[in-house]
Amino acid sequence: MKLFKKAKSKFYWYDFTVRGQRYRGSTNETKAARAAKVAGLKLAHVVENTDPLPQKAPVLLEFSRRFLEWLDKVRLEDKTKTYYRDGWRLLKTTTVVNMRLDQITKDVIETLRFSGASSNANCALRTLRRMLHKAEEWTLIRHAPKLKLMKEYGRSLRLDDEAEKKLLVGAAACNWRKGSLQLFQDIIILMRDTGMRNERELYRMRIENLDWETRVIFVPDSKTEEGRRRVPMSNRVFDVLKQRCGEKREGWVFPSKRAESAHLTTMAKRFREARVKAGLPEDLVLYCGRHDYGTRILKRTGNLAAVMRTMGHRDVKTAMQYQHPELEIVRAALDQDTIVEKRA
């Protein structure tokens, strides 16, 4: 143990090495006796692996390597891991990436700005929150700051008939291979006519779960218990699946070209390319097909319970987020009152 004073510091400093790791820092004490006690306490806790005075915190970029390694090994769902990796991709574009972990305060976090919708910003903020809590757990910082997420608004766009037509025209203009174009068309149809969650349900569809006699798709696994459900096939869904499955009796409906045991995982890049060619807004995403499904079925049946069952919703509040009010219905109701008044 070495105790010394720096030329420009009024405090005593300690310097020692334990298990090949060097510890050096200020005791924040001006008297030698008190400084020796602080340094001794520091040494004792380091030896016991309960260091109460952490070393200089690493910068976020350096810490990200350890966090991503932990993310690869931990038992989390693949979708959650992808979410955090996307969040880190967004964080890397900000100034906070070169800051030390103990310098990232609530005030600093509130100055961060991200492109795109508020859900995009919240992806980055949730990732940063998880990273800072892991840093606290690993005793790299004393306390992770509390951060406030941005308010998110439900999607207002629907992947309706007009959007579908424009997307397919845009896709045709992308000069993709014939197989890629057909896959894109099939996915668009299935999203609109089944209302399934694309990554968790649609891409994982297996031939064994298709009942050709009753024209029903069984969804065996989803994000909720209610997600285990049966989804009816429309005529064009039946035609698409029959054409794609042929005489096969088992396996993925959308197998991956990279591995026999894998399935399709994303169409995001293809969708963006077609959307740009079609001149459609950036807020329109493939998931909007699920919103369109809920809106159309509720409008035509008036049966919210049936919509909830086929979409795998747990409660009415969640289901209503997918129901977009039709102005024509409201207008027709108002006009009906006018007609009744004139007749009277």
Give how many domains the chain has, as a whole number: 3
Residue 256 has pLDDT above 80, yes or no: yes
- Alpha-carbon span 330 to 50, nearest angstrom: 66
Q: Do 65 and 188 belong together in one domain?
A: no
Tell me the pLDDT tens digit for each residue of 25-66.
Answer: 898 889 988 988 888 888 887 776 655 544 678 999 999 999
Does 188 lie in the same domain as 64? no
Of 196, 230, 197, 236, the residue nearest 214 (C-alpha): 230
| Structure token pair of residue 210 | 């298709």
Residue 93 lies in a domain: yes
The CATH number of the domain where 254 resides is what? 1.10.443.10
Mean pLDDT of 289-303: 84
What confidence score (pLDDT) does residue 158 get? 84
Task: Give me the pLDDT at residue 53, please.
Answer: 47
Query: What is the reported pLDDT for 129?
Result: 95
SS (H, E, C) the chain: CEEEECCCCCCEEEEEEECCEEEEEECCCCCHHHHHHHHHHHHHHHHCCCCCCCCCCCEHHHHHHHHHHHHHHCCCCHHHHHHHHHHHHHHCCCHHHHCEHHHCCHHHHHCCCCCCCHHHHHHHHHHHHHHHHHHHHCCCCCCCCCCCCCCCCCCCCCCCHHHHHHHHHHHHCCCCCHHHHHHHHHHHHHHHHHCCCHHHHHCCCEHHHEECCCCEEEECCCCCHHHCEEEECCHHHHHHHHHHHCCCCCCECCECCCCCCCECCCCHHHHHHHHHHHCCCCCCCCCHHHHHHHHHHHHHHCCHHHHHHHHCCCCHHHHHCCCCCCHHHHHHHHHHHHHHHHHC
Inside any domain, residue 255 = yes
What's the confidence (pLDDT) of residue 243?
Answer: 95
Asked whether residue 129 falls in the same domain as residue 179, the answer is no
Do 231 and 185 belong to one domain? yes
Q: Residue 314 in contact with residue 322, Cβ under 8 Å?
A: no
Categorize the per-residue pLDDT at 294 as very low, low, confident or very high, splitting at 50, 70 and 90. Answer: confident
Q: Is residue 124 part of a domain?
A: yes
pLDDT band at 198 (very low <50, low <70, confident <90, very high): confident
234 in the same domain as 287: yes
Query: What integer pLDDT is reported at residue 20 of this predicted model?
Result: 66
Sign, CA torsion 36/37/38/43: positive
What is the per-residue pLDDT for 320? 59
Which pLDDT band holds residue 79 (cuts at 50, 70, 90)? confident
Distances (CA, A) of 140 to 95, 155, 158, 264: 20, 39, 46, 39
User: Does 339 reside within a domain?
Assistant: no
Q: Are residues 130 and 244 in the same domain?
A: no
Least Cα distance to 138 among 26, 48, 41, 51 occurs for 51
Domain end residue (candidates: 99, 121, 137): 137
Mean local confidence (pLDDT), 162-174: 95
Predicted local confidence at residue 116, as pLDDT: 66
Is residue 334 one of the residues assigned to a domain?
Answer: no
Q: In this structure, are 177 and 297 located in the same domain?
A: yes
In-domain check, residue 150: no
Virtual CA dihedral for 126, 131, 133, 136, nearest 10 degrees?
Answer: -160
Q: Do both 35 and 110 map to the same domain?
A: no
pLDDT at 148: 87
Q: Do 140 and 54 contact (CB within 8 A), yes or no?
A: yes
Q: Is residue 70 part of a domain?
A: yes
Quick one: pLDDT at residue 200?
83
Arithmetic mean of pLDDT, 223-240:
86
Q: Give the predicted TM-score (pTM) of the model.
A: 0.58
pLDDT band at 77 (very low <50, low <70, confident <90, very high): confident
Per residue in 105-164, pLDDT (tens digit) is: 999 999 998 876 677 889 999 999 999 999 999 988 888 998 888 876 555 678 999 999
Q: Is residue 304 part of a domain?
A: yes
Based on the domain organization, do 69 and 109 belong to the same domain?
Answer: yes
**Pair 72, 32 in one domain:** no
8 Å CB contact between 321 and 233: no
Domain of 94, in residue numbers:
60-137
One domain, residues 209 and 254? yes
148 φ, ψ to 5°?
-105, 130
Looking at the fold, whether 124 and 253 belong to one and the same domain comes out as no
